[in-house]
Structure 1
Amino acid sequence: MSALTRLLRRPSVREWPEIAVCCVLAVVVEGGLRVASLPRLARWLGVPLADDDGGAAPLRAARLGPRAERQWRALQRVSRHWPTSSTGPCLRWALVGGQRLRRLEPRLRLGVAKIDGAVRAHAWLEVGDRCLDPLGASQFLALAPVAPTEPRESA
């Protein structure tokens, strides 16, 4: 790797605080997923679950401003090096990313697909009608919210 390539890959001084925040949030999200329900944790982080069926995932990539772009880039840097399990890292990073981009009012969308005979789940963020993971989300059908049911009375 050339010196120029290493220099270009090195985070700028302005990115380090955001990288540190993403690391702390990753720990908080990991703990939160173990002790709280997903809707509660998502609301607490400022990224509520999408409450419509969404249909097919929007294929247009979201455009971010300079500040949000820096936050998203820091999240990607941390996620590349973070030791996560192979089951569900997309949910963890969507929650962290949603918290960092909460000023844009993102929504957390969950979807499923049958891939190679197995049912797979995916989580992604949507800002307005745009998606922050258009390629990954395009393979999945968004889940519709389920209304809580009344408990049945025993006869």
Structure 2
Amino acid sequence: MSGPRLSVHGVGVSDLGRTAVAFLLAAVVEVGLHTLRLPRLSRLLGVPLDIDPQRDIEVTAPVIVPRWARRRLRATRRALRYWPFGDSCLRLALVGGCLVRRLDPVLRIGVAKHDGEFKAHAWLEIGGLSLDPASVDFAPVESVRA
């Protein structure tokens, strides 16, 4: 039997630690976004940008994201909710991907036309499957200008 869980506003102390780590990593990502090209930044973070149109991924089962990874991804969303530069999908994917890099995630960027306007979106994929349901509306980008 465990004792009472220490929490602040319903968020456990270990969750606060994960959120603090995500917030610090967001600062690294922010600097990287302003000083490095995206392919290099994503590689350095352990979340390589996947723009290969010929990828042959055989998916036999859905991606099961372990509990530890789900907690880190939640902490990322919680930290970037208060990020002064915005919680863009690219920042979320880079920070979250770095925190779950043991799962070998890749960064995917896609585009779509909605109401006559082009929109871009970034998301993580593990084993060829997206972790973001919104990604189905976007066509993956197949090249990045050097």
In the superposition, the TM-score normalised over structure 1's length comes to 0.78
Letter in 2 for 1:50: D
> Offset at 1:80?
2.2
Tell me if the contact between 2:51 and 2:141 (Cα under 8 Å) persists in the aligned partners.
Answer: no
Letter in 1 for 2:91: R
Residues 82-103 of structure 1 show CA distances to partners (whole Å, capped at 9, x for unaligned) of 23348xx111110001100100
Letter in 2 for 1:140: F
Aligned position for 1:144 = 142
Separation of aligned partners in 1, 2:94 and 2:54: 18
Aligned position for 1:32 = 32
Task: Specify the SS of the correspondent of 1:40.
Answer: helix
Task: Specify the SS of the correspondent of 2:52.
Answer: coil
Tell me if the contact between 1:54 and 1:144 (Cα under 8 Å) persists in the aligned partners.
Answer: no
Separation of aligned partners in 1, 2:140 and 2:85: 24
Separation of aligned partners in 1, 2:37 and 2:48: 12
Aligned position for 1:91 = 90
Separation of aligned partners in 1, 2:145 and 2:16: 42
Separation of aligned partners in 1, 2:98 and 2:126: 12
Residues 46-100 of structure 1 show CA distances to partners (whole Å, capped at 9, x for unaligned) of 0001142279xx9x974311111111111121122223348xx111110001100
Letter in 2 for 1:118: E
Separation of aligned partners in 1, 2:140 and 2:30: 23
Letter in 2 for 1:145: S
Task: Specify the SS of the correspondent of 2:107.
Answer: strand
Tell me if the contact between 2:107 and 2:122 (Cα under 8 Å) persists in the aligned partners.
Answer: yes
Task: Specify the SS of the correspondent of 2:50.
Answer: coil
Task: Specify the SS of the correspondent of 1:82.
Answer: coil
In the superposition, the TM-score normalised over structure 2's length comes to 0.82
Aligned position for 2:4 = none
Separation of aligned partners in 1, 2:128 and 2:9: 31
Q: Could you say if the C-alpha distance between residues 61 and 30 of structure 1 is closer, same or farther in structure 2, counting changes exceeding 3 Å?
A: farther
> Offset at 1:44?
0.5
The structure whose Rg is larger is 1
Residues 5-46 of structure 1 show CA distances to partners (whole Å, capped at 9, x for unaligned) of xx7962112212211110001111111000000001000000
Structure of higher RCO (CA pairs closer than 8 Å, 6+ residues apart): 1
Q: Which runs of 5+ in 2 are unaligned?
A: 1-6
Task: Specify the SS of the correspondent of 1:34.
Answer: helix
Task: Specify the SS of the correspondent of 1:138.
Answer: helix
Q: Which runs of 5+ in 1 are unaligned?
A: 1-6, 149-155
Q: Could you say if the C-alpha distance between residues 13 and 54 of structure 1 is closer, same or farther in structure 2, counting changes exceeding 3 Å?
A: farther
